[in-house]
Structure 1
């Protein structure tokens, strides 16, 4: 196993300081989109404590709160605790843990039936000069395979081909290495038996050093080959023991867009081994994953967010994700409905809200406003994620309850408690119960 170094330090953070003013942290909203924004302004009284609730006496809101009073005065202490992890796992069906067929995991695999020529790669990577061609011999000189042949050839018949590729990985010729990695990448694309054969034949220790290759095409083929091989469960320990985690983090930092995306996917696959989650976080994968989340292509952002979600099932990685500055871009994604990222961001925020630093960051980076917008305008599943996260933020924080009320949160929560899904109704009612407790406390202290 590779040695690990904890990257959880303030110096590892990305430049996403949370010391900005409250006005700069507000999430930009569409003009006229939400009546909640108007209500929150109407009910705000700057002369009162920031925790004072709106005065909605005789309104439908108070009527609804009265209906909920008896029910939630009887809540047990266990019911007031944060939702159990199992509930998040159930909610997160929209954010698949891992699937060989998922476009979020590796859309790059779709184009592997015909390995692109250097001219095609040049068009896609204008900033990188075309490498000088070197002579390849025989089999490795071919630029593509017939997909039909690959699908029908038996592992026994394929073994000599795999041996040629593995030998090619150790050639002194960059072009031979590149071609050999490309062939293994393709052979491991779809078939589990091919992945098993390639892993058993010793390809992994020969592929891992190529992750640090200065030739971007060789690096890209090698990282994608390892991604494909990692889809076979039996290869994950072999890949880890070959030192791949640290090398994949290196690719995350310096690789092409495609290489970074597939490195994130490979780390996601390796994170399915529980012990690897600790190593991946400690070696330093989280800051470059957050960088990919912020600056990557649309697919890169999806790969990064899915990998971060899987890593955040353990507490040390939650802390690292918060320290790396992930909360602000996640909140921004929540506010951008319609791009396929909002629900994924909501699931990760729900995970981060389980720790105090995560709660603080979500509130400071405008999360309450963004979550309320989802409750008003989001999808059914998005509303469930949003109200679950708000419940975590407010269960043990009178301050956050006050902020939620000042944002105009009660009316949309009342509406959700009446017309949401079964889970959303339950969460909304529980949250309204806490808000009513706060209103009673304020009333008692003022009398």
Structure 2
């Protein structure tokens, strides 16, 4: 018994020792797995990259994108940069030479998640508000890009006027400006791209744009214009109006900020005469810069300007016509101005007893707006053709109205309205009476008749009844090369005989028989 007890006592420690060995082995294996897992996990933690992938960077700002968006052309940009480019009317040229299209914007969620995962893998902070551009900083950056582009553009020598004589009807516009009536302090040649109600003459396309810096006066103007005191607002507007007359610096570029435009909005429709007049005059001066034109329209000021056209103070209406004319020089604004309803009040002011400057700038605005097909259709529906013909007959702003009629004659609706209003007889009569003082006005009349000549048999009947062939032959002997070419084409249309006229001359019996046969054929088909 004592021997067995001794053996049992000896066995227990062995069992204990065996369990201890097993536990030790398990701990060792677990430690090995921990080491392996640690090594594998540490191998996943990549070292920080030397540079950011190009596809993660915005082509405009060159920074890691926080909110990437895809534009219509398929390129990806930071959203703030796209908004700044649209606001300032800037389209960058990318490294591969392509030009993006910013008309539509779609969030690029796939790229956004890829950028976040890349930052997580490399233990980097994801892009946030502090590291990425907001709208205002992006606007400054785009301004700098614009300045850089302007400085890189070579200065082209002035073209010879004879080289541009045969392109479009722009030469007619220049010629009419040269022969128009102006005050002693107005420069005629400047008004091809500048409204007569503005106070600074050079166009933005020829002005040198300098480095963009925030103007400290912006804060001062905003503070005065937001004052509850009327006299402080008037003082601020007069100061702003004088400041934006600057011709040699980029003051207008610096002051045309979203904040200042938002402050000007309620002042444009103010019941105080001086506030309304000066605020609209300031807007005219700001709109002289090409970059500012699209920005002003997108700020939402245009409907308020149209309200001034309809019921503002006389001097404010005069400036509003100049502002809309200036904004209409940018092709991207033409459709928006027509859609928002500026055509009807402009047409009314053109025929009204307002000042010469008001009628003049409204005519120029309508001319530039009528270069767009959608606005031509709207003008025809507004009954503009007989109104414009009456204005030409009265001799008030007639030369600019001739250009508008020339644009209207380019579309079928305008041609029909002009023929219905006696336009063929009217223009033939102008050429016959030789009441046109300038050769350019004669060319416009011939251009209108050439547009109307696409009307087929009806134009032939009206033109022959008005004696157009004889009149055009006389014009052919005295007109310039462009006029002679159009006259020859019109005479050819009037003198050639077509099958339709043969059918008309042969009597209605034959036509009726043809119609009856066609009708029977249609019946048999059904």
Same fold (TM over 0.5): yes
Tell whether 2:419 aligns with 1:330: no
Larger Rg: 2
Which residue matches 1:9?
A: none
Correspondent of 2:375 among 317, 333, 338 = 317
Choose the corresponding residue for 1:93, options 174, 177, 201: 174
Conserved? CA contact 2:425–2:462, under 8 Å: no
Structure possessing the higher relative contact order (Cα contacts under 8 Å, 6 or more residues apart): 1
Cα separation, 2, equivalents of 1:310 and 1:157: 33
Could you report, residue by residue, the CA deviation over 1:284-324 in whole angstroms, capped at 9, with x for unpaired residues?
Answer: 11111111112133221111111111111211111111122
**Change beyond 3 A, Cα 1:372–1:291:** same
Q: Give the aligned CA root-mean-square deviation in angstroms.
A: 3.3
Match of 1:358 in 2: 414
Shift in Å, 1:272: 2.8
Contact 2:174 2:192 in 1 (8 A): no
Gaps of at least 5 residues in structure 1 are 2-84, 113-153
- 1:232 corresponds to: 289
CA shift, 1:385, in A, is 0.6
Identify unmatched segments of 5+ residues in structure 2: 1-82, 84-165, 178-186, 202-209, 507-526
User: 1:407 — aligned with what?
Assistant: 466
Kindly report which structure 2 residues correspond to 1:20-419, keeping only aligned pairs within 5 A, or say none. 87-94=168-175, 101-102=190-191, 106-109=195-198, 159-191=215-247, 192-200=249-257, 202-295=259-352, 296-337=354-395, 341-376=397-432, 377=434, 378=436, 379-419=438-478
Cα distance in structure 2, aligned partners of 1:355 and 1:290: 19
The answer to whether the 8 Å contact 1:108/1:258 transfers is no
Q: Tell me, in whole angstroms, the C-alpha distance in 1 between the residues paired with 2:339 and 2:449.
A: 30
| Aligned equivalent of 2:59 | none
Change (3 A) 1:426 1:100: closer
Which has the larger displacement, 266-275 or 245-254? 266-275
Question: What is the CA–CA distance in structure 2 between the aligned matches of 1:353 and 1:110, rounded to whole Å?
Answer: 34
Cα contact 1:187–1:194 (8 A) shared by 2: yes
Please give the TM-score of this superposition, normalised by the length of structure 1. 0.64
Give aligned pairs, total.
320
Aligned to 2:520: none
Are residues 1:436 and 2:504 paired? no
**Structure 2 counterpart of 1:144:** none
Superimposed CA distance per residue, residues 312-353 of structure 1 (whole angstroms, 9 cap, x where no aligned partner): 12111111111222222211233345x5x2221111101111
Change (3 A) 1:311 1:231: same
Q: Equivalent residue of 1:395, what SS?
A: helix
Describe the SS at the equivalent of 2:347: helix
- The 3 A distance-change label for structure 1 pair 186 and 325 is farther
1:110 to partner: Cα distance: 5.9
CA pair 286-99 structure 1, distance change in 2 beyond 3 A: farther
Q: 1:307 to 1:108 in 2, by over 3 A?
A: closer
CA distance in 1 between counterparts of 2:290 and 2:213 reads 23
Could you tell me how far apart the structure 2 residues matched to 1:101 and 1:203 are? 27
SS in 2 for 1:87: coil
Classify the secondary structure of the residue corresponding to 1:102: helix
- Structure 1 distance, partners of 2:289, 2:429, is 41
**Could you state the TM-score of these two structures normalised by the residue count of structure 2?**
0.55
SS for the counterpart of 1:284 is coil
Deviating 4+ runs (over 6 angstroms): 154-158
CA contact (8 A) 1:204 1:238 kept: no
d(CA) in 2 for partners of 1:239, 1:99: 26
Partner deviation per Cα, 1:92-148 (whole Å, 9 max, x = no partner)? 33467x999429954444699xxxxxxxxxxxxxxxxxxxxxxxxxxxxxxxxxxxx
Q: Is the 8 A contact 1:99 1:105 kept in 2?
A: no
Summarize deviations over 1:186-212 as a string: whole Å, max 9, x none: 211242522122224942221122112
Contact 1:170 1:177 in 2 (8 A): yes
Query: How many angstroms apart in 2 are the aligned matches of 1:373 and 1:335?
Result: 11
